[in-house]
Amino acid sequence: MTQSNTPPPGAPQYEPPQYGQTPSEQSQFDQPAAAPYEQPQYGQVPTEQPPASPYEQAPYGQPQSPQFDQYQQQQYAPPPPYAAQRPGSGMAIAAFVIGIVALLLAWIPVINVIAIIGGIVAVVLGIISIRKVGRGEAGGKGFAITGIVLAGLAIIGSILMNVVFGAVLNEVDKTVQRELESASAVVEEQAADAEAALDAEESAAVDGAAAPAGDALPLGQSGQMGDYTVAVNAVNLNANEVMADANLFNSAPEHQYVLLDISVVYNGDEEGDPWFDLLFTYGGSDGRQYDDTGCMATEPNSVVDVPTLTNGGAADYQVCLDVPAAATEGGELFVEETLSFDDNRVYWAVQ
């Protein structure tokens, strides 16, 4: 079945292009222009012309569409310029903060040395900040000036506080020195008095030893000494041979051996050791005293052989002394407690 190529009624008649003519030329010159606002005939479909594309390329030799140029200008418009940044003021703020801290520390003695150092740093930072502000490189001129002022006050306050603190310490030191000197003078005076009293007591003791006292006991008579009843039974003023025979290891005396025969009875409630509790001393005629600690020899009946005594315990033993031969004549013998702090003694007349 063949289809008819007859156009619908009212449609424009299409004519093939003539030889040597392009279809575009045919459409430009042969196609009748539609009348504007023309009412289409009955049965015809109204046709609409599509809007011209702004991107449609103009024919060769014709200028570009102004719509494309306008689009290019809107598409590639340059961005607006950035606003200039405000110069920073960090160094000025640092000078301000350091100045405040330095001013707070300036009133604390010793620690205000840190305030002086911090004040110097704040002044330097403030001066540098002011110079930068003048060149327009930074801001915060007010912070910088305030920091310099605070730092200056901190430095001055620290110096004044150290001067006052040093003056106070100096005055306190002088007061303490005066008190110490006064106390030292009092102590020295008391020591001198005590030494004088001690010398007087020693002189009295020597005098008493050199000349037998009126209450000196005869040999063999007992006397009470602390927790002991003590009796000196005999005195050998020249016991060199006896001591030499007592022990082969006894060395010769420095002066002359004096040997005492002792009897004791312990009356205390605890325990007693005569070799430790009692001290025998010979007061020579030369004004010196010789006790049993100066004799290192072993006696025939040594006190070291005496056991510890309890209440009622008795013992007989010997004690040696090393006394110059010239000092034995006219001397006096006495006994006292080893750890006694009083002048309690019992005397025996040697001759």
Q: Are 258 and 235 in contact (CB under 8 A)?
A: yes
Could you tell me whether strands 278-283 and 314-322 are parallel, antiparallel, or unpaired per DSSP bridges?
unpaired
Segment 55-78 shows an average pLDDT of 51
Cα maximum dimension of the chain:
190
Give the DSSP per-residue string, 22-65: -HHHHHHHTSPPPPTTPPPPTTPPP--PPPPPTTPPPPTTSPPP
**Three-class DSSP category at 302:** strand
Q: Of 32-36, 128-132, 186-190, which has the strongest mean pLDDT? A: 128-132
Q: What residues contact residue 191 under an 8 Å CB cut-off, 6+ apart?
A: none
Structure tokens at 109: 């003695």
Distance CA 335, CA 232 (A): 9
Half-sphere exposure of 306 (CA within 13 A, CB side): 28
Segment 187-192 shows an average pLDDT of 86
Greater pLDDT, 272 or 211 = 272
E strand or H helix that includes residue 229: strand 228-236
CA distances from 199 to 193, 263, 300 (A): 10, 33, 38
Interhelix angle 90-105/112-134, nearest 10 degrees = 160
CA angle 9, 14, 16 (to 5 degrees): 155
Any bridge partners for residue 125, and if so which?
Answer: none
pLDDT band at 213 (very low <50, low <70, confident <90, very high): very low
Residue closest to 140 by CA, chosen among 100, 88, 84 = 88
**Model pLDDT, residue 25:** 47
Structure tokens at 199: 């010398």
Structure tokens at 236: 């050998």
**Model pLDDT, residue 14:** 54
Any bridge partners for residue 82, and if so which?
Answer: none
For the whole model, what pTM was predicted?
0.41
Q: Are 275 and 306 in contact (CB under 8 A)?
A: yes
E strand or H helix that includes residue 261: strand 257-266
**Model pLDDT, residue 320:** 95
pLDDT mean across residues, the chain: 79
DSSP state at residue 228: E
Given a cut of 50, whether residue 169 has pLDDT beyond it is yes
Structure-token match 């006694």, residue found:
340
**Three-class DSSP category at 292:** helix
In this structure, of 53-62, 73-82, 112-121, 243-252, the range with the lowest mean pLDDT score is 53-62
Given a cut of 70, whether residue 249 has pLDDT beyond it is yes
Segment 103-123 shows an average pLDDT of 91
Greater pLDDT, 67 or 136 = 136
% the chain with pLDDT above 90: 47
**Model pLDDT, residue 257:** 95
Given a cut of 50, whether residue 32 has pLDDT beyond it is no
CA distances from 196 to 103, 192, 202 (A): 63, 6, 10
Structure-token match 């509790």, residue found:
277
The alpha-helical segments, DSSP class H, found in the chain are 23-29, 66-75, 90-105, 112-134, 141-210, 240-246, 274-277, 325-328
pLDDT band at 202 (very low <50, low <70, confident <90, very high): low
Segment 35-53 shows an average pLDDT of 51
Structure tokens at 185: 């003078």
- For 265-324, how does the pLDDT look when each residue is reduced to its tens digit (9 = 90+)? 999 999 999 999 999 999 998 999 999 999 999 999 999 899 999 999 999 999 999 999
Given a cut of 80, whether residue 1 has pLDDT beyond it is no
pLDDT band at 86 (very low <50, low <70, confident <90, very high): low
CA distances from 321 to 128, 279, 280, 307 (A): 95, 11, 9, 22
Given a cut of 90, whether residue 34 has pLDDT beyond it is no
Q: What residues contact residue 156 under an 8 Å CB cut-off, 6+ apart?
A: none
